[in-house]
Chain A
Amino acid sequence: MAVAEKVIHDAPKAGAAGDPALDTFPKLLLDNARRRGNRPAMREKDFGIWQSWTWAEAAEQVRDLAHGLAAMGFKRGDKLGIIGDNRPRLYWAIPAAQSLGGIAVPVYQDAVANEMEYVLDHAEVRFILAEDQEQVDKVLSVLERLPRIEGIIYSDPRGMRHYDRSRLTSYEEVQERGRAFGAEHPGFLEAEIAKGSGSDVAVILYTSGTTGQSKGVMLTFDNVIKMTWSSIAFEGLREDEEVLAYLPMAWVGDYVFSLSQSYCAGFCVSCPESGATVMTDLRELGPTYFFAPPSIYENILTQVMIRMEDAGALKRWLFKRFMAVARRIGGKILDGEKVSLGDRLLYRLGNLLIYGPLKNTLGFSRIRLAYTAGEAIGPDIFNFYRSLGMNIKQLYGMTECSVFLCIQPNGQVRPDTVGTTVSGAEIRISDDGEVLYRSPGVFAGYYKNPQATAEAKRPDGWTHSGDAGFLDDMHHLHIIDRARDVGKLQDGTLFAPKFIENKLKFFPYIREAVAFGPNRPYVTVFINIDAEAVGNWAERNGIVYGGYTELASLDKVYELIQGCVEQVNRDLASEPHLAGSQIRRFLILHKMLDADDGELTRTRKVRRRFIGDRYQPLVDALYSERDHAAIETQVTFEDGRKGTLQADLKIRNAKTQPIPATVEPLRRAS
């Protein structure tokens, strides 16, 4: 454990920038194999043990795979679809395709077959690397509609002994053919790698698509590598970082954190044993650098709190006592502010008794840097981790700008901003409040969609982010909401749905919330309760229930949620601009919102309009006098079958606070 009051971070090193000759990932890989050949490049937990590969071994794996692809007929400009969980072999496939001048197209591994079909078809994929039988089955089920596909490579042969071999090849077989090809064509791969340049498209990443069909964002090597160096300089990342790769490979963040930053800074990336073991693997590994969306930090905190409820009286008392100390001074110590000696000693004692063991249990004892992004994070959650001495920071960016636009600098971390721009990036707020940016990371364009490209990348050189926000006098960016979601109630009151939803979601009992309001007389919300947290609460209060649907309909649960809603109303009342958008009525949905039903995106963002249409009768009832409403919905089960669900939901009114009279009508944030 680091001594608590020491500032854990090195100051950002100026001028960490790559060798301009190393402008593609294959080139960086070869360079790493030369310079740090014996250092670990990748690890995977398999058969209960962390298996590792050095940079030299990784380069060899990539070489054999690239040769094998070439032997199968993979040519410059071809696309390789990559489908599966985070596995070293799947990560190696990316530079293997790029070595041959090809483009990697990672696909969300939990996408259903027809979503996959859209991406594979739109990206004109010719070869696919699929992790296992599950993914191969999905591809095979839509294969007849994908005439371009010539070869499917699979990594795990389990269960596929009786499959038709004509279009399936095992990973080992491809590498085997690769070694033979390499022996016959000496110098071929080196020449192919040398042909690549920084301005080539390296990857096409499909956005999760909060609205309609997803778009393929083309990023060049220059985009990603330049922003990566910029972020490495900002945070002082080193080759001895430990990172766990557990987020979907199709997401730009994973591409940058688990591939680009690793290749540039030279650190080792570890893959968990399976999706279910992430928390155990995290604990074993003890990463120094960690990324998670707010929902994960939230889940971890919820679990800690639930488990503390079950702990003995002494432990509970110690936890309460020292967490209060941490909340008061932990953040200050982390930011290097002045704290009295007594407090320092008290914090050190707390570290010995509570914070240290707790962080160790969670796998966070070595964390130097933790990021969160994608959604606003609850101030309570954010401060909880910071008070434990974990340097968690928010960053802001998107696929279209290669992740990094703003990061919170050390010592200036506040829950409500997303930080200042990283070097090379610039930000401007348009007249109607939208965040515009320029940076070397700005994407090459949407694949086969010039119209959408032109809408985002304007001739004046600024790219439109689609987010509404403002810069404060410290040059920190605040994000309010998606620009087009910020609307007005009938009387012109500002309505920022995500702002309200996030405030609700900060309660552990609320999993998801969907706010309605534009052009309506008042604000209403749908609530999705958190099965685990509410279930535990029910258990402790002796409330009996049969399942999620019943739990969600109990009067006691309604009372619990009503308390949360009214607390949010009190918070809103204290924000002069948003006091008018307090929640008047709400209901609790009988089913979890689910990406398989199209209600959430694959990255778990609510698709508000879609939900509004799907549950139209419920929305209508919220804007009537009725105290209940019936709904019939179609649901998709995990195996793809469909069924219908009927329910009669109660609707409750929430108390609102008087609006302070002095507020002027609000203009859009600027």
Chain B
Amino acid sequence: MASAKRIGEPILKADHISLSFGGVKALTDISVEIREHEILAIIGPNGAGKTSMLNVINGFYHPQLGTITFHGETRRRMRPHQAAEQGIARTFQNVALFRGMSTLDNIMTGRLLRMRRNFLWQTLYYGPALKEELEHREYVEEIIDFLEIQAIRKTPVGQLPYGLQKRVELGRALAMEPNLLLLDEPMAGMNVEEKEDMCRFILDVNDEFGTTIALIEHDMGVVMDISDRVVVLDYGRKIADGAPDVVRADQAVIDAYLGVAHKE
């Protein structure tokens, strides 16, 4: 794909991050960069700390040590809503949608941060709040078109198959117009066709909107196919970082995946 992709400067830098829960060390001294317009894959065996890393990036966990610099702003503690306001969107390993709400309404919630009218206007319905709602609806319809989910626009998401729920979740994240998109196992539990569709959507998002993407994925075929760079974690440490084919040949990575005994 993309021969002329313009990967730019790092937009996010995690410096010497350490995170532990009581005595359990989830992340140990990890430094990672995410560069503008790239697709970065974070891989590693179960319990390696991949999801913790995403949680640190979007402010859900607060690391004991280390800093995060996003768009030139360095911080140690941040709340998830601040991360969202700065343009970091994410999806979850276990789908976290409003199951009783329709696809359309779920994606609309992704626009919430951009709605400016206060509660009183919203209650009035007519006037500026309606105008605003229509503008956001238009953007959401573009996402629905982009993700080809027109047929389920009005379906409660609880009734949808898993693969489609994942797609709706991606739609909600896109509705924020993020500049950094974090995807936690976007293809887990999908069949081959659903995976292919999802890959295409991720590539298209990256290509058409220029969104920077960091994703966690277990399917090595997918990782090698779509990512520009791969970071490998094992037992809370970074053991490799580089282009997919370099990482694939790395002895430490092979050992981690084959389960060689760890020397403490």
Q: How far is the CB of A365 from chain B (nearest CB, A)?
A: 19
Of the stretches B81-89, B140-148, B178-186, the one at the interface is B140-148
Q: Which of these binds chain A: B1-9, B36-44, B55-63, B247-255?
A: B1-9
Contacts of A274 in B (CB 8 A): 148, 150-151
CA distance A49 to B153 in the complex (A): 12
Q: Is B138 an interface residue (CB 8 A)?
A: yes
Q: Mark B117-155, 1 if CB is under 8 A from A, else 0.
A: 000000000000000000001100110111010110110
- Stretch of A1-9, A154-162, A471-479 that contacts chain B: A154-162
Closest to B137 in A: A48
A47 touches B138 (CB 8 A): yes
State the main secondary structure of chain B at its contact with A: helix
Closest A residue, CB atoms, query B155: A280
B2 touches A159 (CB 8 A): no
In the complex, the answer to whether A159 meets B151 with C-beta atoms within 8 Å is no
Most buried by A among B4, B141, B145: B145
Distance in angstroms from A363 CB to nearest chain B CB is: 15
Mark interface residues in B165-208 (1 if CB within 8 Å of A CB, else 0).
00000000000000000000000000001000000100010011
Minimum Cβ distance to chain B for residue A422 (Å): 37
C-alpha gap A161/B164 in the complex (Å): 26
Given contacts A158-B204, A159-B204, A161-B207, contact A47 B145 (CB under 8 A): yes
Given contacts A47-B145, A48-B141, contact A276 B1 (CB under 8 A): no
Known A277-B150, A277-B151, A280-B151; contact A162-B145, beta-carbon cutoff 8 A = no
**B-contact 0/1 string along A157-177, CB 8 Å cutoff:** 011011000000000000000
- Which chain A residue shows the least CB distance to B2? A162
A200 on interface, CB distance cutoff 8 Å: no
A242 within 8 A of B: no
Smallest CB separation, A157 vs chain B (Å) = 10
Per the 8 Å Cβ criterion, residues 168-214 of A in contact with B are: none
Distance in Å from the Cβ of A59 to the closest Cβ of chain B?
27
Question: Is the pair A276, B150 in contact by a Cβ cutoff of 8 Å?
Answer: yes
Query: Closest CB-CB distance, A47 to chain B, in whole Å?
Result: 4
Interface residues of B in 45-88 (CB under 8 A from A): none
Give A108 Cβ to nearest chain B Cβ, in Å: 21
Answer whether residue A273 sits at the interface, using C-beta atoms and an 8 A cutoff. yes
Are B150 and A48 in contact (CB-based, < 8 A)? yes
Q: From the candidates A47, A161, A273, A276, name the one contacting B142 in the complex (CB within 8 A).
A: A47
In the bound complex, residues from chain A placing their C-beta under 8 Å from that of B193 are 638
Contact indicator A46/B208 (Cβ below 8 Å): no
Tell me the chain A residues, 263-309 only, with Cβ under 8 Å from chain B: 273-274, 276-277, 280
Contact A48 B4 (CB under 8 A): no
For B154, list chain A residues within 8 Å (CB).
280
Interface residues of A in 305-321 (CB under 8 A from B): none
Given A158-B204, A162-B2, A162-B3: A48 and B153 interface contact (C-beta under 8 Å): yes
CB pair B141 A47 closer than 8 Å: yes
- Residues on A with C-beta less than 8 A from B207 are 159, 161
**B141 surroundings in chain A (CB, below 8 A):** 47-49
> Which of the residues B4, B104, B148 comes within 8 Å of A162, measured between beta carbons?
B4
User: Which residues on the A side are within 8 Å of B151 (C-beta)?
Assistant: 273-274, 276-277, 280
Residues of B within 8 A of A49 (CB): 141
Residues of chain B with a CB closer than 8 A to A161's CB: 207-208
A49–B208 alpha-carbon span in the complex (Å): 23
Report Cα–Cα, A638/B194, bound state, in Å: 13
Q: Which of B104, B138, B150 contacts A273 (CB 8 A)?
A: B150
Docked pose: A162 CA to B148 CA in angstroms: 21
Q: How far is the CA of A162 from the CA of B203 in the complex (A)?
A: 12
* Nearest CB of B to A273, in Å: 5
Q: Is B1 within 8 A of A162, CB to CB?
A: yes
Cα A274 to Cα B152 with chains together (Å): 11
Residues of B within 8 A of A280 (CB): 151, 154
A628 CA / B1 CA spacing, docked (Å): 50
Measured in the bound complex, the distance between the Cα atoms of B137 and A276 in whole Å is 21
- Hey, which chain B residues are within 8 Å of A276, CB to CB? 150-151
Question: Which A residues touch B104, using CB under 8 A?
Answer: 48
Q: Mark A513-536, 1 if CB is under 8 A from B, else 0.
A: 000000000000000000000000
**How far does the alpha carbon of A48 sit from the alpha carbon of B138 in the complex, in Å?**
9
Q: Mark A38-65, 1 if CB is under 8 A from B, else 0.
A: 0000000011110000000000000000
Chain A residues within 8 Å of B137, by CB: 48
Contact in complex: B3, A48 (CB < 8 Å)? no
The residue in chain B whose Cβ has the minimal distance to the Cβ of A638 is: B193
For window 1-29 of chain B, which residues contact chain A by CB distance below 8 Å? 1-4
Expressed in whole angstroms, the minimum distance between the Cβ of B6 and any Cβ of chain A is: 13
A456 to B245, CA, bound (A): 62
Shortest C-beta distance, A155 to chain B (Å), equals 14
A566 to B2 CA separation, bound complex (whole angstroms): 61
A550 to chain B, nearest CB (A): 18
Say how far B203's CB is from chain A's closest CB, in angstroms.
9
Once the chains are docked, how many angstroms separate the CA of A638 from the CA of B200?
17
Q: Tell me the bound Cα distance from A159 to B208 in angstroms.
A: 8
Residues of A within 8 A of B2 (CB): 162
List the A residue with the shortest CB-CB distance to B207. Answer: A161
Known pairs A162-B2, A274-B151, A276-B151; A48 contacts B144 (CB<8 A): yes
Q: Roughly how many angstroms separate A158 CA and B209 CA in the complex, as a whole number?
A: 12
Residue of A nearest to B152 (CB): A276
Q: Which residue of B lies closest to A161 (CB)?
A: B207
Return the chain B residue nearest A277 by Cβ.
B151
Determine how close the nearest CB of chain A comes to the CB of B45; give it in whole angstroms: 31
Known pairs A162-B2, A274-B151; A46 contacts B145 (CB<8 A): yes
A273 neighbours in B (Cβ, 8 Å): 150-151
Q: A48-B153, A277-B151 are in contact. List 18 more A-B contacts (CB 8 A).
A: A46-B145, A47-B138, A47-B145, A158-B204, A159-B200, A159-B207, A161-B207, A161-B208, A162-B1, A162-B2, A162-B4, A273-B151, A274-B148, A274-B150, A274-B151, A280-B151, A280-B154, A638-B193
A: residues with CB less than 8 A from B are 46-49, 158-159, 161-162, 273-274, 276-277, 280, 638
Closest 10 CB pairs of A and B: A276-B151, A47-B141, A48-B141, A277-B151, A273-B150, A277-B150, A274-B150, A47-B145, A159-B204, A162-B2
Q: List 21 A-B contacts (CB under 8 A).
A: A47-B138, A47-B141, A48-B141, A48-B144, A48-B153, A49-B141, A158-B146, A158-B208, A159-B200, A159-B207, A161-B207, A162-B2, A162-B3, A273-B150, A274-B148, A276-B150, A276-B151, A277-B150, A277-B151, A280-B151, A280-B154
